[in-house]
Amino acid sequence: MKKQFIIVVLLLVLCIFVSAYTYTTDGSFEDEEVGSSFVDFDKFSYDWGHSVVHGETVLEEKDGNKFLKVTGFSEFYSYDPITAPYTFSLDLKLEAVGDVNVFVRAGRNESAPFPFYEWDWYTEKGGKNGESSTGGPGLLVSLRQDSVRIRIKNMQMDSENEQISSVYHDFPMPETYNYKEFNNIKFVDDGEKIEVFVNDALIATCEMSDKGRYEIDAEHMPVDFEYFKKVVLKDSEGNVVLELDNARLVAEDCHVAFGGRNHPFYVDNVTMSYEVEDTPEPTGTPKPEPTDTEVPKETNESTKKPDEEKGEKADWIPFAVVCVVLVLVGVVIAIIARRRAVK
């Protein structure tokens, strides 16, 4: 019985060590130097790709709190694709209401990226069944005067753009809400629904189903992904406010992001937490550098790729697992051998 017990314990230990672990980013700027730029932040730039056109990033401090000011055409996106469940959270403040968005269930094709600050040109190119807006696929959240807007990208074929449009709903905020102060925006995505919180209060739930691709996307690489096509957006009381069967919410290996289209904003405490099952292989690609190009009009300008450290998160874990397993196996073998010798 003792031998069987030891084997069971060993198997349980192996399951614990081999199972997925939770990777959580460090999104505070308290250890950074005031006046420095995003590219100087080792921890933050490790997890986030970026592009800033005709603008800059500067670390500022007020009342003992450090935060990042961003101007120009900007995008910050998770280097790694994320598989649910995950949590994404940040604190956002505006000088004035403008085109500043936070994305989840977004897509990024490295060979043909759709910048998160780029306009989709839907109505400008003939579309009549929705609105133009910033960015490619995904669910977008933006701060408004006295509300928070949730926008859902969808597929439309009546425009000469990338076959992408959007619809939105504005969720009213309490009187204590002020877009000129930091507001925490948090997403909790379990793979079937996204819960959206503002300042710890649930404002909306987005239910997702019907995975599939749009055949027309084979001709439009920036939006060629597998999507959740059916989406039901509900308010905090469960009332349906939007329902779509042509949504563009990326179903697998999605990205989260934030940025602005020539509107300044302030950001702090940017964190994402998600499960990682396999250690990524190093990419060996160059480190991103600040961009200094002309403002894009209707182009999908590619940003720099990650540095050589990309994908090396927690590379010590597989080695540690092997060592622990070998030690435990050795202990079990020694115990069994000793018992047999005694008999």
Q: From the CB of residue 198, how many other CB atoms can be counted at a distance below 10 Å?
A: 20
**Residue 335 predicted with pLDDT over 80:** no
Q: What percent of the chain has pLDDT over 90?
A: 67
* Separation between Cα atoms, residue 233 and residue 150, nearest integer Å: 9
The confidence score (pLDDT) of residue 204 equals 98
Q: Which two tokens stand for residue 122?
A: 């839907």
Q: Is residue 124 part of a domain?
A: yes
Instruction: Tell me whether residue 142 is in a domain.
Output: yes
Do the domain assignments include residue 94?
yes
Can you state the percent helix, strand and coil of the chain, rounding each to 5? 20, 40, 45
Q: pLDDT category, 11, cuts 50, 70, 90?
A: low
- Mean pLDDT rounded to a whole number for the chain: 84
- Amino acid identity, residue 176? T
Distance, in Å, from the CA atom of 263 to the CA atom of 100, rounded to the nearest integer, reads: 7
* pLDDT tens readout for residues 91-146: 999 999 999 999 999 999 988 999 999 999 999 999 999 999 999 999 999 999 99
Q: Check whether 218 has a pLDDT greater than 50.
A: yes
- State yes or no: pLDDT of 1 exceeds 70: no
Domain count, the chain: 1
Q: State the Cα–Cα distance between residues 97 and 262, nearest whole angstrom.
A: 12
What does the pLDDT average to over 173-182? 97
pLDDT of amino acid 75: 97
Q: How confident is the model at residue 26 (pLDDT cuts 50, 70, 90)?
A: confident
Instruction: Answer whether residue 246 is part of any domain.
Output: yes
Residue 329, pLDDT score? 56
**Which pLDDT score, from 0 to 100, does residue 216 have?**
93
Q: What is the CATH number of the domain that holds 166?
A: 2.60.120.560
pLDDT (mean) for 304-331: 49
Q: For the whole model, what pTM was predicted?
A: 0.77
| The CA-based dihedral angle spanning residues 177, 56, 77, 168, taken in that order and rounded to the nearest 10 degrees | 40
Residue at 92 is within a domain: yes
Asked whether residue 290 carries a pLDDT value surpassing 60, the answer given is no
Ranking 31-35, 73-77, 265-269, 306-310 by mean pLDDT, the lowest is: 306-310
pLDDT, tens digit, for every residue of 233-264?
999 999 999 999 999 999 999 999 999 999 99
Q: 83: Cβ–Cβ under 8 A, 6 or more apart, which residues?
A: 252, 253, 274, 275
In a domain, 88, yes or no: yes
Confidence (pLDDT) at 291: 44
Q: Which of 98, 154, 147 is nearest to 266 (CA)?
A: 98
Q: Which residues contact 330 (CB under 8 A, 6 or more apart)?
A: none
pLDDT of res. 307? 41
pLDDT at 280 over 70: no
Q: Taking residues 188-199, report their average pLDDT.
A: 98
C-alpha distance from residue 275 to each of 20, 43, 172, 236, 279 (Å) = 6, 19, 33, 27, 11
pLDDT at 336 (0 to 100): 59
CB count in 10 Å sphere of residue 4: 8
- What count of Cα atoms within 13 Å lies in the side-chain half-sphere of residue 309? 12
Residue 325 lies in a domain: no
Residue 254 lies in domain:
23-304
pLDDT at 306: 39
- CA-to-CA distance for 27 and 265, rounded, in angstroms? 16
Query: HSE (CB half, 13 Å, CA atoms) of 288?
Result: 27
User: Is 9 domain-assigned?
Assistant: no
